[in-house]
Amino acid sequence: MAIETIHHRICPLCEACCGLELKVVDGRVTSIRGHDDDVFSRGYVCPKAVALKDLHEDPDRLRTPLVKRDGKFVAASWDEAFSEIARRLPAIRARHGDDAVAIALGNPVVHKAGLLLYVPRLARALGTRNVFSASTLDQMPKQLASGLMFGDWLSIAVPDIERSDLLVILGANPAVSNGSMWTVPDFRGKAKALRARGGNLIVIDPRRTETAEIADRHIFIRPGGDAFLLAGIVHTLFAENLAQLGRMAPHVAGVDALAEAVRPFAPERVAARCAISADAIRQLARTIAGAERAAVYGRIGTCTQEFGTLANWLIDAVNVLTRHLDEPGGAMFPKAPAFAANTRGATGAGRGVTTGRHASRVSRAPEVFGELPMTCLAEEIETPGTGQLRALITVAANPVLSAPNGPRIAAALDALDFMVSVDVYVNETTRHADVILPGTSPLEEMHYDVAFPQLGYRNCARAGAAVLPLAAERPAEWEILLKLTAIANGRADGDLAQFDDELAAADVKRAAGEHAAAVLEAVAHRRGPERLIDLALRAGPYGDRFGLKPDGLNLEKLFAAPNGIDFGPLAPRIPELLRTPSGRIEIAPPLLLSDFARAAAALDQPAPDFVIVGRRQVRSNNSWMHNLPALAKGRNRCTVLVNPADARRLGLRDGGRARIARGANAIDAQVEVSDAMMPGVLSLPHGWGHDLPGAQLNVAALQPGANLNALLDDRVRDPLSGNAVLSGVAVCVSAIT
């Protein structure tokens, strides 16, 4: 008789990190649902979770390495694939230097413990400055602003939604995205509960989004206007004597400098730039200042714009100035059980963050958090000279669809001498590789969320074992990265397990000094990511300190707690959390103050006739889930939303097609007329355009959609963070008849 087994696992598909309950019979998943007793997500899931089965069973998902011979991929053994890399990659480094090899990291890296924990090892071994990731298409402005204010790149304040009376959301649609830089499963349920207890939800977005639909109030904003709106709000807080620091008073530096810096940004001055009236700006400031428990939260719409770092800084400046930072119901700092720099070392002050330790070769874009902007990748390959990129390793990244000017990136990838991809598909990017090393299905590996407990709406710890076994001949993803690390270190033929032991021992020696031997002994039964996770949990704020605190946390206890372990609601952490050199919250970091001059110069920029913004959809995830039948079925979702008055003026009709152009770049997309759009603003999802030759995505190819990023400009960035500008880009639109 077939035996059914039940497994618990965190969903790796988005930042909500929902706990899943999977049933398996005879090695096949028979059901995937929300895990009702999960301490964090309490049974919530979205339709994407079910698609994990489709992903696992997808016939297009790679299971064997591919090596390109005479322009065609042929199946290869793991030994053959690694030998090819060992033959070609070190030779390029020897000849052209370390910086001739780049690494590009994509979004799924943060959702898989093996990838996230072993990527730094590979990057270190490569010794290259050319590290690119989705962070500069996404949240780098948030990380830079938080780093400068609080002293660590991952000290990010998130709304304590379960205790708030007021939540103001800019440029985020958590009802669909399920939250980002804020791990909050079932946002919708929590927002409804907030309103049911008499609280208010205000959404500021150029589209009346699904989140706006459940809000008390929605305010249209001109794309790219957030920094100006927020400067107007901060101006009002000072002008009307509403700025109150409360408990934070002894912990904040720079208030006077901020007050001075926002003087040119009176509500009347910024109103046109953000298309929100001066009265409404003042009212917003008063509402936020007057609320007992409130948080202002901004996400990708506030990051992927020219003044992204400024906007993200001012969001937290408002939280500080209105007494809502670090207070219950306000914007608070999670305390993660492991891997959080803000729970390590001396507390209350630290080294802070810096940028620009080096710069990109061609654009001279400053390094931020050890990375260069993804929008520099193509030019670094194209531009001859010392330091020119000759080789690239991509790990779970699809920049041909996900980064601006994708066609330029595609052409550049063909000019490389060598490219390796660690990926699960032959897609728009990996089709350019010389070797593809297939990653695992998420169900085949154990999981602990390395990153997201640092962003959780509540403190907890959860881990899950692999649901299905990995075929005997296949390496886990961490072993793939470890082997690449060994190749980069000239140890291609050495013993991998021993190499892993050495790397772990070196880590422990750095962290534990004279106690290193005892610490290593305590985790001697573990290997790979499990060893690193156990080490981090046991040394972490809830940890067992390797036996000193017997009641404390370790991985064994976590595996034995299928519902996870709850550490309660977020608790105040200032000043302990701070790692700035001053030991204060820097509310006016000089780098950010200096950017006000650029903002002032842009105050009178007129609004273009049409700008385009992005949009996320429940049944899609960036560029790579369009091959899963459970999600792909149904109508074409890659539609461009157009306001009815604009549609009339342009002769666009619902269901018809529009040509959207920027300079010589043009795409065409199906029109959806929608009064949810602000006039003059179009909305198109990104990650589509699955009609490129050589990709092997048979389901996605049936409804390829249009690639928004084929249209966007890779030369415009937020200069402070290096983040791409993906929102509010001026375009021309016309009907295709």
Ligand X SMILES: Nc1nc2c(c(=O)[nH]1)N[C@H]1C(S)=C(S)[C@@H](COP(=O)(O)OP(=O)(O)OC[C@H]3O[C@@H](n4cnc5c(=O)[nH]c(N)nc54)[C@H](O)[C@@H]3O)O[C@H]1N2
Residues in contact with Mo ion by the rule CB under 5 A: 138
Side-chain half-sphere exposure of 397, counting CA atoms within 13 A: 31
Whether the bond between 159 and the residue before it is cis, its omega within 30 degrees of 0, is: no
Q: What is the total residue count of the chain?
A: 737
**Window 399-458: residues binding ligand SF4 (CB under 6 A):** none
- 204 touches, from ligand X, Mo ion, ligand SF4, none (C-beta below 5 to 8 Å by class): ligand X
Is residue 261 a contact point for ligand SF4 (CB under 6 A)? no
Residues 6 or more apart whose CB falls under 8 angstroms from that of 77 comprise 65
Closest residue to Mo ion using C-beta atoms: 138
Is residue 529 a contact point for ligand X (CB under 6 A)? no
Q: Is there a contact between 115 and 477 (Cβ–Cβ < 8 Å)?
A: yes
CA distance 492 to 176: 45
| Count of C-beta atoms within a 10 Å radius of residue 525 | 10
- 17 touches, from ligand SF4, Mo ion, ligand X, none (C-beta below 5 to 8 Å by class): ligand SF4
Within 154-254, where are the H helices?
174-177, 187-196, 210-213, 226-239
Residue with tokens 């605190």: 549
Within 46-182, where are the H helices?
51-57, 78-96, 113-126, 140-150, 174-177
Nearer residue to ligand SF4 within complex by CB, 48 or 483: 48
CA distance 388 to 97: 9
Residue in 199, 439, 540, 552 binding ligand X, rule: CB under 6 A: 439
Is residue 191 a contact point for ligand SF4 (CB under 6 A)? no
- 398 touches, from Mo ion, ligand SF4, ligand X, none (C-beta below 5 to 8 Å by class): ligand X
Instruction: Look up residue 416 and give its two tokens.
Output: 């490389």
Is residue 110 a contact point for ligand SF4 (CB under 6 A)? no
Nearer residue to Mo ion within complex by CB, 138 or 530: 138
Q: How many Å is the Cα radius of gyration of the chain? A: 25
Task: Name the one range near ligand X by CB under 6 A: 297-305, 500-508, 548-556, 588-596.
Answer: 297-305
Is residue 722 a contact point for ligand X (CB under 6 A)? no
Is residue 115 a contact point for ligand SF4 (CB under 6 A)? no
Is residue 62 a contact point for ligand X (CB under 6 A)? no
SS (H, E, C) 334-392: CCCCCCCHHHCCCCCCCCCCCEEEEECCCCCCEEECCECCHHHHHHHHHCCCCCCCCEE
**Window 131-190: residues binding ligand SF4 (CB under 6 A):** 178, 185
Is residue 334 a contact point for ligand X (CB under 6 A)? no
CA distance 303 to 280: 23
CA distance 501 to 499: 5
Query: Per-residue string for binding with ligand X, 151-190, x by CB under 6 A?
Result: -------------------xxxxx-xxx-x----------
Query: Per-residue string for binding with ligand SF4, 4-33, x by CB under 6 A?
Result: -------x-xx-xxx---------------
**Measured CA distances, 67 to 438, 601, 647 (Å):** 11, 52, 49
Is residue 483 a contact point for ligand X (CB under 6 A)? no
- 616 touches, from Mo ion, ligand SF4, ligand X, none (C-beta below 5 to 8 Å by class): ligand X
- Rounded to a whole number of angstroms, the minimum distance from the CB of residue 187 to ligand SF4 is 9
Q: Give me the residues that bind ligand X (CB under 6 A), please.
A: 14-15, 106-108, 112, 134, 137-138, 170-174, 176-178, 180, 204-207, 209, 221, 223-224, 226, 299-302, 304-305, 396-399, 402, 422-425, 427, 429, 439, 442, 613-618, 620-624, 683, 686-687, 708-709, 712, 726-728
Contact set with ligand SF4 (CB under 6 A): 11, 13-14, 16-18, 45-46, 48-49, 178, 185
